[in-house]
C-alpha cells in the first residue's frame, strides 16, 4: 500500500529522512520552522527541509506552533496515515500526535534512553562515548520517552567530530526510517519496545558560552569538547595571548608542573598547552577573521613562538 505521510523537520539532519519518506510513499505536506534571519545580511532564509520539499513540489506548511485549532484542523484535513518528525523544533501536543492513523514516528540520533533531548550527537562525543546510533521511536507526550520501534548502532571514531558524526547518523536515520516504512507498507507494524528506566541521560541544547575552554580541566575532556563542538559552536581558548578557535586537537597523557593554559611547546606537530591533567596538542586552529589552518601554518605567522 502507499502511505499518506506528513513530514515535519527543519535542519540538514532531517533532509535524508525526507528523501527516504518520499520513496514509495505520498508525502502530502512538509511542516518546517518559519523562515529565520541568517547570514551577514540577516535575510529571511528557508530551512534545508523547506528547500528540499520545494524541489520535490511538496506543499510546505510553517506554523509558529500547533496551539490554534485551525492548525490542528489543517493537519487533520490532510488525512495522514503517519506523521514523521525529525529535528522539527516544535513540541507536538497529544492532540496532534493522535491525528495520524499510525500516530507519529520520530527519528532520534542516539541509542535511547541515553541522550534524550536537543543535542544528542554533540553530547555523546563530549562525554567520550564510543557508540551512538539512531532510534525510530513512536512519539508520546514526554521528551523522547516513547517506545522504540527500530534501532541501529554505530561506532564513534576516535577522531570523529560533531559534523562527521552528524552526517553519518543522518544517513543511518534515513535507512532505519526506510526499514520501518517498508514494514508498515507490508502490513507489519514494528513492535514497540518501552525504553528502560535505567540509563536515562539528557542532551541539553548547546550554548555558545560553553565552547570557551577551561584549561584547568583534563586534556581528555577538552579534546572531546573540541571534537564535539566542531562545526558549531566551535571550541575557543586563549593560547599564547591570542584567542583562537580550535578545529582539531588531541590529548597527550603527559605529566607537568606548569600552570594550566601555559604553552609548553610550539612546533609543526602542534601547540602543546598545559591542562589541569595532561596536555592538549592543538593541530588545527583558526585566528580571528581567518580560516582553519594547521599549527605549522599558524607558526609561520607567529615567529615569536617558534621553538617555544
Q: What is the pLDDT of residue 305?
A: 84
Give yes or no for a contact between 140 and 70, defined as CB atoms under 8 angstroms apart: no
- 90 assigned binding-site residue: no
Same fold? 4-203, 209-305: no
Confirm whether residue 295 is marked as ligand binding.
Answer: no
Report the predicted TM-score, pTM, of the whole model to 2 decimal places.
Answer: 0.95
Residue-wise DSSP of 232-271:
TT-EEEEETTEEEEEEEEEEE-----SPTT-EEEEETTEE
pLDDT digits (tens, 9 = 90+) for 40-62: 778 899 999 999 999 999 999 99
pLDDT at 261: 97
Write down the domain spans for the chain. Answer: 4-203, 209-305
Phi, psi of 198, rounded to the nearest 5 degrees: -90, 140
Predicted local distance difference test score (pLDDT) of residue 306: 67
> Is 244 part of any known ligand binding site?
no
Q: Is 95 annotated as a binding residue?
A: no
Using only C-alpha atoms, the chain has a radius of gyration, in whole angstroms, of: 22
Q: Which of 245, 259, 252, 247 is nearest to 216 (CA)?
A: 259
Dist. CA 112–CA 104, nearest whole Å: 17
Encode 17-28 in three state secondary structure.
HHHHHHCCCEEE
pLDDT at 307: 61
C-alpha cell at 306: 617558534
CATH number belonging to the domain at 4-203, selected among 3.40.50.300, 3.40.50.360, 3.40.50.2300, 3.40.50.170: 3.40.50.170
What's the confidence (pLDDT) of residue 308?
A: 62
Low-confidence ranges of the chain (pLDDT < 70): 306-308
Superfamily grouping for domain 209-305: Formyl transferase, C-terminal domain (3.10.25.10)
Q: How far apart are CA 239 and CA 213, in angstroms?
A: 11
Amino acid at each position: 500500500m502507499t502511505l499518506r505521510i506528513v513530514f515535519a523537520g527543519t535542519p540538514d539532519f532531517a533532509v535524508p529522512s525526507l528523501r527516504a519518506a518520499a520513496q514509495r510513499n505520498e508525502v502530502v505536506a512538509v511542516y518546517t520552522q518559519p523562515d529565520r534571519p541568517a547570514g551577514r545580511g540577516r535575510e529571511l532564509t528557508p530551512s534545508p527541509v523547506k528547500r528540499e520539499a520545494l524541489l520535490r513540489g511538496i506543499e510546505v506548511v510553517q506554523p509558529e506552533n500547533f496551539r490554534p485549532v485551525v492548525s490542528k484542523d489543517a493537519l487533520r484535513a490532510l488525512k495522514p496515515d503517519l506523521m514523521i518528525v525529525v529535528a522539527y523544533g516544535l513540541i507536538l501536543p497529544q492532540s496532534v500526535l493522535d491525528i495520524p492513523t499510525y500516530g507519529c514516528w520520530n527519528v532520534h540520533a542516539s541509542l535511547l534512553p541515553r541522550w534524550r533531548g536537543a543535542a544528542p550527537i554533540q553530547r555523546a562525543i563530549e562525554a567520550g562515548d564510543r557508540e551512538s546510533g539512531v532510534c525510530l521511536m513512536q512519539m508520546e507526550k514526554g521528551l523522547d520517552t516513547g517506545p522504540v520501534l527500530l534501532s541501529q548502532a554505530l561506532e564513534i571514531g576516535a577522531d570523529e567530530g560533531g559534523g562527521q558524526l552528524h552526517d553519518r547518523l543522518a544517513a543511518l536515520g534515513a535507512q532505519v526510517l526506510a526499514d520501518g516504512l517498508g514494514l508498515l507498507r507490508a502490513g507489519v507494524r514494528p513492535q514497540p519496545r518501552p525504553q528502560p528506566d535505567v540509563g536515562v541521560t539528557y542532551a541539553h541544547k548547546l550554548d555558545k558560552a560553553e565552547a570557551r575552554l577551561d584549561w584547568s580541566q583534563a586534556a581528555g575532556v577538552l579534546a572531546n569538547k573540541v571534537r564535539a563542538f566542531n562545526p558549531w559552536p566551535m571550541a575557543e581558548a586563549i593560547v599564547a595571548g591570542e584567542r583562537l578557535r580550535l578545529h582539531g586537537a588531541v590529548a597527550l597523557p603527559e605529566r607537568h608542573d606548569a600552570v594550566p593554559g601555559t604553552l609548553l611547546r610550539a612546533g609543526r606537530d602542534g601547540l602543546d598547552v598545559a591542562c589541569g591533567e595532561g596536555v592538549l596538542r592543538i593541530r588545527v586552529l583558526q585566528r580571528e577573521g581567518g580560516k582553519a589552518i594547521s599549527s605549522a601554518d599558524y607558526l609561520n605567522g607567529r615567529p615569536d613562538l617558534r621553538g617555544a
